[in-house]
Chains A and B, each alone.
Chain A
Amino acid sequence: MENLPSPLVIEILSRLKDSTDLARCRVVSNTLNEASYEVRSLTLVCSMSRYLKSRSPETKHLITPFKTVLKNLVLRSPNLESVSLGVDRSLGGISFDDVEDESDDLHLTDFNFIQDWLPSLSKSIKSLSVSDFWVQSCWRQSQALSLISSTCHGLVQLVVRNAWLVVDGLCLMPTLTNLTLEFVRLDDEDLNMLNTCFPNLTQLNLIGVGGLKEPKINLPHLRTCQWSVSNAPLSLNISAPSLVDFHLKCIKPRLLFLEAPSLSNFNLSLENTDELVLKNCGNIQCLQLEVECFSLGYILSMFQRCVAVERLSLDFVRKTPRVVDVGADQVREFGLDMLLNYFPNIRYLSLGSEAWRVMESSFCRGSLENGIETKTLKELVAYIVVLEIEFTLAFIFSVLDKCTQLGGVSLLIHSDVDPCVAGNLISACRTKFPGVRWRWGIWKEGIKDTWVSDGI
């Protein structure tokens, strides 16, 4: 049995996912004890069972407080480059009614707690992640950001979840390139402090960040961004010359302004907006849209300079349950021509079930003119529900007649559709268009798509 040299032992110890295992390893031998202090990363999670034991009268005296454990681990490992602490996601389900005390033993973004151990890592730390305990943190304002910014001179990545953060005293953090705030109330209404103090961000994730009024993201080096926001902000403004990949999920902002000349992949989920301004966004190649049906015309018209779009995914936000809404169909006419008109160069098209449904019924009412052939579309993916097989088949065949270079068609049929009907649909398609590369699958809301190669 070969002994592993110290550097290799450190490599392994560094990858232990839970620092509880690391702490135990320190009891193994003096060598491992010393090696463990060279470990560069620390991960400590408070599990549900630990939380419950710390509350139960029989066991609470046996449990070392989480904050104490963390402090001790950090103070003995002066070279830590990465620290990740938090409560398990299951504790997110605890509501105020379940909690009888006002303790702050798991308030992890508490200034005084962080001050006890973070300064000792000021030179080494590069990545910090704190997942706070919502029940204890949501009503306690935290000055953690000012402490982190003034202490951590080389921090590259910061992740904070489930906290209430103020930006008073926030200092410049020129080395920070990755920032993730998830379910955080941020007292920086227009994101002014964020833009000023984190100017070199390349990756920004703002998921469920509240407290914003008219936020503007203005970051010259930002390359990827994920922004998921409620309907509270009045406007959303993004100006990012290096942005390549952008996911935006919002509801009905009055104004949405985007200036992103390098943007290549844009995923936009938006019910409606009074004003959509896309400035210099002509390089978008891959576009995913999820919008309200009625707003489609307006939104598409704002994309008319985006002729570089080659891949398009479209679906409509479903506000009512999946039921045929006759009223809505009579108002909205929508066909392939409309899409090809705005995006003449698309080679790949993916249609969600609502988009398909509206297109199919528009076609079957005969209310759209059959436009000219198109040679650019090569691949189609669609999520379908078969209500009347003749209509669905007629629509599919019309698409194939129109798109003469369409070589690959992948259809996912809803799992509630009768297998016989699905089977008939598949054989009819194969018979009429044998040259097409057909792929079949099954879809259902909330469940991962299943692909089936031969029949269902």
Chain B
Amino acid sequence: MAQEASSSTSSKTISLKTGDGEIFEIEASAAKQMKTVQRLIDDLGDDITIPLHNVFSKELPKIIEYYKKDITGEITKDFEAEFVKDLNDDEVKVLFLAANYLDANKLFEFLSQNIADRLESKSVEYVRKYFGVENDFTPEEESKLREERAWSFRGIKEDE
């Protein structure tokens, strides 16, 4: 077997360590898609285990799964639908934040669209819970806003 050139990334793997101490392997070409990881590799070298303090063992495998498919060009609408099918809204939010931290553009775009789709026709109270925001309007302010936007309050889905 010929010796691999040091610049070849075709079969090299990178080790990633999550915030809760677990280690996962990822192909170098997939790591390239996560700009944060790539920056760390450029700074620390690719032989070292890259520490990811803000990503945890619950979500990293899912992210790795996505990019495994991405490097083989197999990401289809069907795959993406399946990918998020069994995730609840909070799980998607966690993945979304991780994608943001990792600067993983493709996954970030996909998940932000998925969250937007999940919020379609949901009530104000649901959106409040989802974004984790407090209602900081006074009752008078809120009722005025609702009145101005009465047209948008029809056809709301029941909260789950």
B97 touches A27 (CB 8 A): no
In the complex, how many angstroms separate the beta carbon of A251 from the nearest chain B beta carbon?
36
A24 proximity list for chain B (CB < 8 A)? 123-124, 127, 149, 152-153, 156
* A residues with CB within 8 A of B: 1-4, 8-9, 11-18, 20-21, 23-33, 63-64, 69, 72
B15 located at the interface, meaning its Cβ lies under 8 Å from any Cβ of chain A in the complex = no
Q: Give the interface SS of chain B, mostly helix, strand, loop or mixed.
A: helix
With A8-B96, A17-B120, A21-B121 known to touch, is A29 a contact of B128 (CB < 8 Å)? yes
A-B contact pairs, 6 of them (CB 8 A): A1-B132, A15-B117, A20-B152, A29-B131, A30-B137, A32-B131
With A20-B151, A69-B151 known to touch, is A8 a contact of B119 (CB < 8 Å)? no
A8 touches B100 (CB 8 A): yes
B4 proximity list for chain A (CB < 8 A)? none
Closest to B90 in A: A1
B131 touches A28 (CB 8 A): yes
CA distance A162 to B150 in the complex (A): 29
A17 touches B133 (CB 8 A): no
B115 located at the interface, meaning its Cβ lies under 8 Å from any Cβ of chain A in the complex = yes
A32 proximity list for chain B (CB < 8 A)? 127, 131, 133
CA distance A9 to B97 in the complex (A): 11
B116 touches A12 (CB 8 A): yes
A2 touches B151 (CB 8 A): no
CA distance A135 to B156 in the complex (A): 30
B136 proximity list for chain A (CB < 8 A)? 29-31
CA distance A3 to B136 in the complex (A): 15
With A2-B97, A8-B96, A13-B116 known to touch, is A23 a contact of B131 (CB < 8 Å)? no
B100 proximity list for chain A (CB < 8 A)? 8
CA distance A256 to B58 in the complex (A): 62
CA distance A448 to B97 in the complex (A): 40
A4 touches B151 (CB 8 A): no
B12 located at the interface, meaning its Cβ lies under 8 Å from any Cβ of chain A in the complex = no
A15 touches B116 (CB 8 A): yes
> Which residues 45-84 of B sit at the A interface, judged by CB distance below 8 A?
none
CA distance A4 to B100 in the complex (A): 11
In the complex, how many angstroms separate the beta carbon of B78 from the nearest chain A beta carbon?
16
B9 proximity list for chain A (CB < 8 A)? none
B133 touches A29 (CB 8 A): yes
Closest to A23 in B: B152
With A3-B132, A23-B149, A32-B127 known to touch, is A12 a contact of B97 (CB < 8 Å)? no
A29 touches B137 (CB 8 A): yes
Interface string of B16-30 (1 = CB under 8 A from A): 000000000000000
B151 touches A63 (CB 8 A): yes
With A64-B150, A69-B151 known to touch, is A28 a contact of B133 (CB < 8 Å)? yes
A63 proximity list for chain B (CB < 8 A)? 151
With A27-B124, A64-B150 known to touch, is A17 a contact of B132 (CB < 8 Å)? no
With A12-B115, A24-B152 known to touch, is A31 a contact of B124 (CB < 8 Å)? no
CA distance A32 to B116 in the complex (A): 14
CA distance A276 to B67 in the complex (A): 50
With A2-B93, A4-B93, A12-B112 known to touch, is A26 a contact of B149 (CB < 8 Å)? yes
- With an 8 Å Cβ cutoff, the count of chain B residues facing the other chain is 37
B35 located at the interface, meaning its Cβ lies under 8 Å from any Cβ of chain A in the complex = no
Closest to A64 in B: B151
CA distance A13 to B131 in the complex (A): 11
B145 located at the interface, meaning its Cβ lies under 8 Å from any Cβ of chain A in the complex = yes
B135 touches A29 (CB 8 A): yes
A25 proximity list for chain B (CB < 8 A)? 119, 124, 127
CA distance A367 to B156 in the complex (A): 69
B96 proximity list for chain A (CB < 8 A)? 4, 8
In the complex, how many angstroms separate the beta carbon of B144 from the nearest chain A beta carbon?
10
In the complex, how many angstroms separate the beta carbon of B121 from the nearest chain A beta carbon?
7
In the complex, how many angstroms separate the beta carbon of A27 from the nearest chain B beta carbon?
5
A9 touches B151 (CB 8 A): no
Give 19 A-B pairs besides A21-B122, A27-B137 with Cβ atoms closer than 8 angstroms. A2-B132, A4-B93, A4-B97, A11-B112, A12-B116, A12-B119, A13-B116, A14-B116, A15-B117, A16-B119, A17-B116, A17-B117, A21-B119, A23-B151, A24-B149, A28-B128, A29-B136, A32-B131, A33-B145
A4 touches B132 (CB 8 A): yes
> Which residues 93-130 of B sit at the A interface, judged by CB distance below 8 A?
93-94, 96-97, 100, 108, 112-113, 115-117, 119-124, 127-128
In the complex, how many angstroms separate the beta carbon of A63 from the nearest chain B beta carbon?
7
A18 proximity list for chain B (CB < 8 A)? 120
In the complex, how many angstroms separate the beta carbon of B118 from the nearest chain A beta carbon?
10
In the complex, how many angstroms separate the beta carbon of B148 from the nearest chain A beta carbon?
8
CA distance A69 to B151 in the complex (A): 8
B123 proximity list for chain A (CB < 8 A)? 24
A27 touches B146 (CB 8 A): yes
CA distance A11 to B131 in the complex (A): 13
With A8-B96, A24-B127, A24-B149 known to touch, is A29 a contact of B134 (CB < 8 Å)? yes
CA distance A28 to B134 in the complex (A): 8
Closest to B137 in A: A30
B146 proximity list for chain A (CB < 8 A)? 27
B97 proximity list for chain A (CB < 8 A)? 2, 4, 8
CA distance A17 to B121 in the complex (A): 11
In the complex, how many angstroms separate the beta carbon of B48 from the nearest chain A beta carbon?
29
CA distance A3 to B119 in the complex (A): 16
CA distance A15 to B81 in the complex (A): 17
A26 proximity list for chain B (CB < 8 A)? 145, 149
- Choice from A3, A13, A16 contacting B133 with Cβ under 8 Å: A3
